Amino acid sequence: MTKVGFIGLGSQGQPMARRIVDAGFPLTIWARRAAAVEPFADTAATTAATPAELGAASDIVGICVVADADVTDVLLRPDGVLAGMDAGGLLMLHSTIHPDTCRLIADAAADRGVAVIDAPVSGGAPAASVGRLSVMVGGTDEDVARARPVLETFADPLLHLGPLGSGQVAKLLNNFVFTAQVGLALDTFAFADRLGIDRALAAQVLAGGTGGSRAAGILAASGFDLSGLRGAEGLLRKDVRITLEVAAGAGTEAPATLTALAQETLTTLASPPVAG
């Protein structure tokens, strides 16, 4: 059976890896913090001492760390995954990163006979836990087909967008629009206040009507508490920045209205909460 490695056991990566091992795939994990591997003590997963050791034990390796620098570190450092991985292996990049980073990693991996797909995910820990993550994939048909049995342990839907980097472009578009929708939702609920409409009731109207959005639903479910979104501001800012860079590299402009709303959201989330 295909041997799988997984690095990035955070709030989303942990249930993804759990789905893989629970499906019966031999799983090797590695984390910088010992606490991150403790939830797997009741599984058949093996813990590697280094990323290279994980690579040597795996046919397919999933990477779900935070940012471009984290991905390149665990893969390309002297004791990184690629240092131990055999020719014929396959990397799945689940992190939301620049498509150029995917191509840089693919070039380095090709020198060792290792293939790469990008497969960023959306949906969060609840969706991961029940195998309902939206997974956007870029890569060759052959490589995606090899990865599919592993991806399908946590993916529904699994969307093959095109060549390497295509999954990242789709995920960045999603995150860019979501960030803009947060700003739109904040403006909408503030407008509801000024119109004398209870914002909780306004949220129910939007949810049952045509004006709703995922962002508005998240705000309403939190009781209009921005603390969770404030905690994600750095990640949203990263993704908006990369989206604008990708647009510039493609010789096109991001929509002005969406860009303004996204920047407004980031400014709001970066500002100290208003007392009272």
Rounded Cα distance between 72 and 53, Å, is: 17
Residue 254 · residue 242 · CB < 8 Å = no
Determine which one of 106, 171, 174, 247 is catalytic. Answer: 171
Largest CA-CA distance found in the chain, in angstroms, rounded = 65
Euclidean distance between the first and the last CA atom of the chain, given in angstroms as a whole number? 58
From the list 226, 135, 141, 146, the residue with the least C-alpha distance to 183 is 226
d(CA 52, CA 237) in angstroms, rounded, equals 31
Helices vs. strands in the chain: H and E counts, helices first: 14, 9
Contact 265, 179 (CB under 8 A): yes
Annotated catalytic residue 171 = yes
Annotated catalytic residues are 171
